[in-house]
Homo-oligomer: A and B are copies of this chain.
Amino acid sequence: MTEPAPAAPDGSSGRKTTSKGFPKHTPTLSDVARLAGVSIATASKALNGRAQVKAETRARVTAAAEQLSFSPNRLARSLLSGRSGTVGLITHDLEGRFSIPTLMGAEDAFGAGKVSVLLCDARGDSIRERYHIQALLGRRVDGLIIVGARPDPRRSLGPLPVPVVYAYAPSESGSDISLVCDNVGGGRMAAEHLIDCGRSRLAIITGDPTYGAATDRVAGARQALADAGLELVGGHAMFGAWTEEWGRGAARTLLTKHPEIDAILCGSDQIARGVLDVLRELDRRVPSDIAVIGHDNWEVLAAHARPALTSIDMNLEELGRRAAAKLFEAMEGQPARGVETVPCRLVLRASTAF
């Protein structure tokens, strides 16, 4: 491809052609115009539904475009308009459970319009994040969504030439706009549901206490208990890991020390699965003896547990959609700031009596 194709002496068409003489070339507006026998300007106006074009001319242009299966080069359009019609979506935990629904929601919200999503996985590495952001800015994205790996606040990117929305993990800086799950509300919702089911001797088994999500959910549950004049059995929540193993171990400990409990609030569906396993081994019936509730509504775990697990859904898709909407508003010149919370949703299954 180093052939310096000599300028077409015939001048007239002068399109690049392959050695075989085929017009192996995605058609441009000028091809359409030539075929329709009009100027480029007229062709553009005809295809874009602009006025000032005779109906018959428009029909001819449309037909020509159809025939060549012409599709306008959005790069050229973007260059002119200054907007690329793309947004960058940077995730930090593509393989994890929480990025994907958020990503789906955002893709859905944008895809409905005519914005495309450029996906980058930074894998929790801020160097990689920087690199991707530079690449995306070079592509002139109109905005950025940053999806964190865990719900704890993260360093702000500072001012960028395009609007940024932080999703799942909020930005430390109050001048950014962030969307997060309502973990406090989710914890409260879970506890309230158990109380509504007539339970009063609640325990909490949850995950890694360095996660804000863990402590927030506990805080929310405590609020609900306090409102109902109740106290946590044993006085404190059991923190550990986000795994079935911990759920099993903690459940055994709990039932030994406090056999009187009638409900267990779990910090994740994985933990809840472990808890359910142990309860079955110990012949404690769920939900009649002990109600169990999970968190995350991880379908594959919750829906097929024995019994099927009631869980708190964080509405991550909705979170993604809202993030997209916020970004859209910011791109339209209506930037927002602060941390906005997306409420959770209770998904009722058999592990809590109703």
Contacts and interface: CB of A to CB of B under 8 A. Distances in A.
B100 A114 contact: no
A8 interface: no
Interface string A296-329: 0010110010100000000000000000000000
Given A71-B137, A71-B138, A100-B94, A118 B270 contact: no
A303 to B, nearest CB: 9
A75 B84 contact: yes
A140 B104 contact: no
> Which of A116, A243, A298 has the most chain B CB atoms closer than 10 A to its own CB?
A116
Contact of A107 (B120, B140, B244): B120
A121 B116 contact: no
Contacts of A138: 71-74
A55 interface: no
A253 interface: no
Contacts of A26: 140, 161
A33 interface: no
A159 to B, nearest CB: 11
A346 interface: no
A270 B140 contact: no
A116 B111 contact: no
A125 to B, nearest CB: 12
A108 interface: yes
A95 B104 contact: yes
Interface in A130-164: 132, 134-140, 161
Interface string A246-289: 00000000000000000000000010011001000000000000
Interface of A: 26, 71-76, 78-79, 84, 86, 89, 94-95, 97, 100-101, 103-104, 107-108, 111, 114, 116-121, 132, 134-140, 161, 243-245, 270, 273-274, 277, 298, 300-301, 304, 306
Given A26-B140, A74-B139, 6 more contacts: A86-B118, A95-B100, A95-B104, A114-B135, A270-B304, A274-B304
